[in-house]
Structure 1
Amino acid sequence: MGSQDVLTDTTKLASYSMVLQVLFRVLTFGLNAFTLRYVSKEIIGIVNVRLTLLYSTVVFLAREAFRRTCLSHGPRQNWRHTIQLIWLTVPLGICWSLLLGWVWLRVLEVPDPEVIPHYGTGVLAFGFSAVVELLAEPFWVLAQSHLLVRLKVLAESLAMISRCCVTVLLVLVYPQWGLVIFSVAQVLYTSLLALAYVVYFAGFLGSPEAETKSFPLRKMTEFLPQYSASQNFLDWTQVRLAWSLFKQSFLKQILTEGERYVMTFLNVLSFGDQGVYDIVNNLGSLVARFIFLPIEESFYVFFAKVLERGKDVGCQRKEDVSTATEVLASLLKLVTLIGLTITAFGYAYSQLALDIYGGSMLSAGSGPSLLRCYCLYVLLLAINGVTECFTFATMSKDQVDRYNYVMLGLSLSFLAFSYYMTGWLGSVGFILANCFSMGLRIAHSVLYIRRYYRGSPYRPLTGLLLSPAVVSALGVSAAVTAFSEVSLCCDRGWVPRLGHVAVGVVCLSVTLGAAVFSETKLTHFIRSQFLSRPPKKKA
């Protein structure tokens, strides 16, 4: 498959993933808004912070390193070795689930059973659901590697909608169950997700589409580990790379979920405050979840397939390097534009968004300040996602090992800085600590990309620079909407609020118009890769 074909399939995968993330976030926000009216914010804090942290930690530590290893492009990739390596996620997940489950039950502060009943049931259910999800990992890796774009959307949509429906039903009928409601919904979600992958491949194997994509497996039993006396059970080159990435993923998890670890282990916020923080955090990460994360996941596959890991630019095919460079520059410009737009408009519309979503419980106090700071963090998050996506896809094993020491320093500094900032500024300190950490990660990735392209005519980092027309439009929009907020929002009734929204719509239209007419390369990239329908491939 040529680099242009890979790019076409990758952008299609990213587009489908964005739609999936939009659906996921809309359902999640609707579910949070609904459950806030039936269950306490303390239960929301336990579920969305502590139990979700247990689940995400088990899943991330068990599979992240194996995913990145198995998706790396190699000229002599052996799928039998890849499948057997990815199955190691299951026993590893069981070990992490047992260990962390014990910590969550015996080491951490146990909530008052009168206020939050069935805490032990919640811990067991979320740990078990993580292991169930890992059973689908071999199917996920094969699907992602062969760009089966519909499978992920269908599987996760089915599981997601089912979880939301069950949660709403149980909250209405048995609100006194508390954590049991969310435990049942979580186990159902991961079970349906794993089942959907199994059912899909049962019908996919042997089909004309499988032949067209040169799928390496022919029957379902080939998804299982198989011992052969004629070859090693594992490819030890892959194992060593996975170990290096595992050490890195452990540290990356601390950076990704650092504020939740601080809240969980250091008790800097009450369970109720954790619930409010998590709701505001989810609202602030809306765009990051449904745009930036799919771009990062999908284009990691693209860079890993087009560029060979550990080789300099001069040792790669010129056509592949040119395509990858153009894509990297366009992605950087796209996410920078989106991030700056969110930062410019987020200041004036944070309080209104919180008031509409959760009422005075969210819009009063530190909620608006928290969301405004998060808008700046979204910009840094966007740039870091793309730069690290390229960096991790092209690093050699030795470079990955060296980067682990960088991640260790970042992790320790983040934890210390977040603890200090939280004691000083409250929950806003978490966001500022994240901004500090993300800025350091961006600096490292930018230096790596500069070194990677040193001596070549390619300059993909120019994608971080927007045209003067766009920068001017963003600056004027930020000033106008800030004045509009003071004049029209947010305690002056609905008519002035609508006027404030209208001002934002006009300013946003002007900004987008400036981007369309001044960023012609970016406009062409979006139209050709995300908005156009790819031609059907001939069988």
Structure 2
Amino acid sequence: MDTSGPTLRQRSVPTSDHLPTSPTSAPASSTDPANNVDLKSTDQASSILSSSVQGASYLVLLQFVSRMLTFTLNQVLLRFTSAETLGIASVQLELLLNTILFLSREGVRCAAIRVSDDSAEKEDETTSLDKKEKDKEMRIAPGSEAYRLQKLVNMVYAPIPVGALMTCLAVGYSLIQVTDKSEDNFPGYRLSIYLYGISALIELLAEPMFMVAQYKLWFKTRVSVEGTAVIVRCILTCALTIYGARAEVTGSSEEGSDKNTMGVLAFAIAQFVYGLLTLGGFLLAFWSKSTERRDLDRKRMAAAIKKRDGIAVKGQPSSNDDTISMSALLPRRLTKVGKDGKVESFYFDKELLKLSKTLTSQSLLKHILTEGDKMMMAKFADETAQGVYAFVVNYGSLIARILFQPLEETSRTLFSRLLSDIAPGSTSSNNDTTAEKTNTTTTTSRTLTETQLDNLVLSRNLLLTIMKFHVLLGLVFIAFGTHYTATLIDLVVGQYWSTTTKAPQVLSLYCYYVPIMGLNGITEAVVQAVASEKELGVLSYWMVGFSAVFCSTGAFLMGTLGLKAEGIVLANCVNLIMRIVWSMWFLSGYYGRYIPIAGTSSGIKSSDGGVVARFAYVPWQNIVPRPTVLVAFGAAFVLTAATEQWIGWQGLYNKAVHLGIGVAAFAVVMGVVFVSEKQFLRDIQSIVRQRRR
């Protein structure tokens, strides 16, 4: 049996390293008497996995279209606008927009997707609610899907007032930085700041619909709305910039002018239209799915039939799960019975609110880390090095934005849905705390149902499969990308960037950074999906430490050693590697808490200790490819390095030979992967098939 990696075979023992496939369909209320498995729950897990895989493909398509359009747009805009204008729009105004949106909604998004339905309460507790009170307020009973959805909707209204305050502060600060000279050099600068701030507020108004679509796994709806808005924004930016350039030429004085009459205003108008299209698109999409619209269509059809045939047709209520009432998108008071037996009314769930605060503070640290490289470059690097780094990031981050970001976002939703009722801090894991306090050897795996254990194994091996995919993809970048960066740059943007600057060397180093980004994204996404509020608070302290190491490492490499652009890439690698190790350590404890180790019948005991020993609770070695695959990639790395050194890439013939050898080596390596990693490829194929279910 191939045991080199996680597999997708159904296992009856949840301690296996193999991941169960989606079960065959069964009646909703049926139960497997042999294993005492609720088939309704397993079908639900299969449905979540299927929708998530399909959603990931949609999001990858969205990122591919938007990033390629943006990349192409930048090449066109460079012919019609100055680098300074592009820098203001792409750096300063985008930083303003991202600061408002990220700090206002990121923490709430991560917390709200983990909403629970208070199903831990006894069913008979809901009957203690006064019937007249329920009828009067039309309250939703705890434990229902509508209750869970309403809790999420209420929560995602919180970013709107927070975002309004953030907009006032951020826009006010940005306006203070604009001088009269800046306004003269870049006409419409102040108006552009206002437009970006208003656009942020408009996007926040669409947040409830965005999160409902995310929760219901309506990825196609989201991609349709956002994809349309992105395309219009790109086309409008380009059209306005070209129009401004032509207007400047037509209306220039005898002295001439190098100013585009639209300048940064073209970007601001396009961003404002993007916000309107996002809000309007979600409203139209949800109206098309609303029960109100379908009831209205049914009444119209019944009236038409009655008018034609004289037959009255009574409309039947819709039973389609793909519908939602528009009133469900509004905040609404909820009611539940507290532990003291008293009725509690609330809008915002206390646990979700506390978790949102924790995640928001963590988002602030992440935002600082994200923009930290720009701060370091401004302090330790000259303008040439800054230009090289911006050039490399523009090319090197394409794969991260197109592929890694959708995988990370989808994984966060997928793992949250699969493990929502067994995450630390939930009612299902309370016994774990009790076991630790009493210092007994009782394991929490005995408190979980067979379905919950299956979901744990499913999620764990999905994580390992995705991580192995990132490792293999990273090996492709390292073995082939590092020695073809100069060839690529020379072909795409010309000899200046490939020979005069250090862009090829920095981009080669960035190829090592790509797989590290992928592994960090998926592991942190899972941590955010399953960690308790207390554990996320601990992570925030670690993030502060990681930030300190990043800054000190960057200062040493860039300031003392003078590595400049290469130094900031290396500092980022060190930072993300530390975060990956911490996430793996945390997830080892999380899964080991519930899933017994292979060959034993117990999970983590309170007496277990040792940081290194803790990693044994998850088979992390399964993410490492087989030795034959590693040898093949190593040989390809040496071969491509030799051809770049001996044959070169300056002439057209040299490029053809160098590329030909690389293509041949890539084909051989892929053949070795197909032969040696058959089980892994079957796992990937099984996951992809979920999209068609």
Task: Verify same fold: TM over 0.5.
Answer: yes
- Which one of 579, 586, 593 corresponds to residue 448 of structure 1? 586
Matches for 1:11-160 after TM superposition, within 5 Å? 11-76=53-118, 78-106=148-176, 112=182, 116-160=186-230
Contact map agreement 2:236 2:270 (CA 8 A) in 1: yes
3-state DSSP of counterpart to 2:345: coil
3-state DSSP of counterpart to 1:386: helix
Structure 2 counterpart of 1:287: 399
Contact map agreement 1:111 1:119 (CA 8 A) in 2: no
Tell me, yes or no, if structure 1 residue 466 matches structure 2 residue 625.
yes
Structure 1 counterpart of 2:545: 409
Structure 1 counterpart of 2:279: 194
The 1:60/1:366 distance shift into structure 2, 3 A limit, reads: same
Matches for 1:368-383 after TM superposition, within 5 Å? 368-383=504-519
Structure 2 counterpart of 1:248: 362
Deviations 1:357-406 (A, max 9, x none): 33245333121122112111111111111111211111111111111111
Tell me, yes or no, if structure 1 residue 428 matches structure 2 residue 566.
yes
Q: Distance in 2 between matches of 1:183 and 1:267?
A: 31
Structure 2 counterpart of 1:400: 536
Structure 1 counterpart of 2:331: 225
Q: Distance in 2 between matches of 1:252 and 1:9?
A: 29
Structure 2 counterpart of 1:238: 352
Contact map agreement 2:225 2:278 (CA 8 A) in 1: yes
Q: Distance in 1 between matches of 2:285 and 2:350?
A: 31
- Which one of 310, 314, 321 corresponds to residue 213 of structure 1? 321
5+ residue gaps, structure 1:
none
Letter in 2 for 1:478: F
3-state DSSP of counterpart to 2:649: coil
Q: Which moved more, 1:408-417 or 1:508-517?
A: 408-417
Shift of 1:267: 8.5
Deviations 1:4-62 (A, max 9, x none): 22111111111111111111221111111111222222222222222212211211111
3-state DSSP of counterpart to 1:490: coil
Contact map agreement 2:50 2:690 (CA 8 A) in 1: no
Shift of 1:203: 0.7
Contact map agreement 2:628 2:672 (CA 8 A) in 1: yes
Tell me, yes or no, if structure 1 residue 185 matches structure 2 residue 343.
no
Q: Distance in 2 between matches of 1:415 and 1:128?
A: 34
Identity %: 29
Q: Distance in 1 between matches of 2:358 and 2:180?
A: 35
Contact map agreement 1:33 1:357 (CA 8 A) in 2: no
The 1:210/1:330 distance shift into structure 2, 3 A limit, reads: farther
Shift of 1:238: 0.8
Contact map agreement 1:332 1:461 (CA 8 A) in 2: no
Shift of 1:73: 4.8
Shift of 1:3: 1.6
The 1:45/1:343 distance shift into structure 2, 3 A limit, reads: farther
Shift of 1:100: 2.1
Structure 2 counterpart of 1:331: 466
* Moved >6 Å (runs of 4+): 108-111
Structure 2 counterpart of 1:162: 232
Letter in 1 for 2:355: L
Contact map agreement 1:245 1:400 (CA 8 A) in 2: yes
Q: Which moved more, 1:509-518 or 1:385-394?
A: 509-518
3-state DSSP of counterpart to 1:225: coil
Tell me, yes or no, if structure 1 residue 354 matches structure 2 residue 481.
no
Tell me, yes or no, if structure 1 residue 277 matches structure 2 residue 389.
yes
Q: Distance in 2 between matches of 1:411 and 1:108?
A: 30
Letter in 2 for 1:197: F
Q: Distance in 2 between matches of 1:94 and 1:113?
A: 25
Q: Distance in 1 between matches of 2:180 and 2:456?
A: 54
3-state DSSP of counterpart to 1:231: strand
Shift of 1:489: 4.1
Letter in 1 for 2:75: A
The 1:353/1:262 distance shift into structure 2, 3 A limit, reads: same
Q: Which moved more, 1:279-288 or 1:437-446?
A: 279-288
Q: Which has the larger radius of gyration?
A: 2
The 1:8/1:511 distance shift into structure 2, 3 A limit, reads: same
The 1:488/1:347 distance shift into structure 2, 3 A limit, reads: same
Shift of 1:297: 0.6
Q: Distance in 2 between matches of 1:236 and 1:323?
A: 30
Q: Which moved more, 1:347-356 or 1:144-153?
A: 347-356
User: With structure 1 as the length reference, what TM-score do the two structures score?
Assistant: 0.91
Letter in 2 for 1:331: I
3-state DSSP of counterpart to 2:482: helix
The 1:443/1:204 distance shift into structure 2, 3 A limit, reads: same
Shift of 1:145: 0.9
Shift of 1:261: 4.2
Q: Cα RMSD (Å) of the superposition? A: 2.6
Shift of 1:410: 1.6
Tell me, yes or no, if structure 1 residue 522 matches structure 2 residue 691.
no
3-state DSSP of counterpart to 1:309: coil
Contact map agreement 1:244 1:400 (CA 8 A) in 2: yes
Structure 2 counterpart of 1:508: 666
Residues matched between the structures, number: 530
5+ residue gaps, structure 2:
1-42, 119-146, 246-259, 296-316, 336-343, 433-443, 599-616
Q: Distance in 1 between matches of 2:346 and 2:382?
A: 51
Deviations 1:182-203 (A, max 9, x none): 1112112222122211110011
Contact map agreement 1:351 1:368 (CA 8 A) in 2: yes
User: With structure 2 as the length reference, what TM-score do the two structures score?
Assistant: 0.72
The 1:129/1:6 distance shift into structure 2, 3 A limit, reads: same
The 1:470/1:333 distance shift into structure 2, 3 A limit, reads: same
Q: Distance in 2 between matches of 1:433 and 1:201?
A: 45
Q: Distance in 1 between matches of 2:352 and 2:181?
A: 43
Contact map agreement 2:113 2:152 (CA 8 A) in 1: no
- Which one of 523, 547, 560 corresponds to residue 387 of structure 1? 523
The 1:510/1:416 distance shift into structure 2, 3 A limit, reads: same
Q: Which moved more, 1:363-372 or 1:101-110?
A: 101-110
Structure 2 counterpart of 1:297: 409
The 1:298/1:192 distance shift into structure 2, 3 A limit, reads: same
Q: Distance in 1 between matches of 2:390 and 2:515?
A: 19
Q: Distance in 2 between matches of 1:236 and 1:150?
A: 32
Letter in 2 for 1:365: T
Contact map agreement 1:93 1:131 (CA 8 A) in 2: yes
Letter in 2 for 1:428: E
Q: Distance in 2 between matches of 1:211 and 1:412?
A: 55
Q: Distance in 2 between matches of 1:99 and 1:379?
A: 37
| Structure whose residues are more often helix by fraction | 1
Q: Distance in 2 between matches of 1:490 and 1:125?
A: 47
Tell me, yes or no, if structure 1 residue 203 matches structure 2 residue 288.
yes
Deviations 1:122-162 (A, max 9, x none): 33332222222111111111111111121121112101111
Shift of 1:232: 1.0
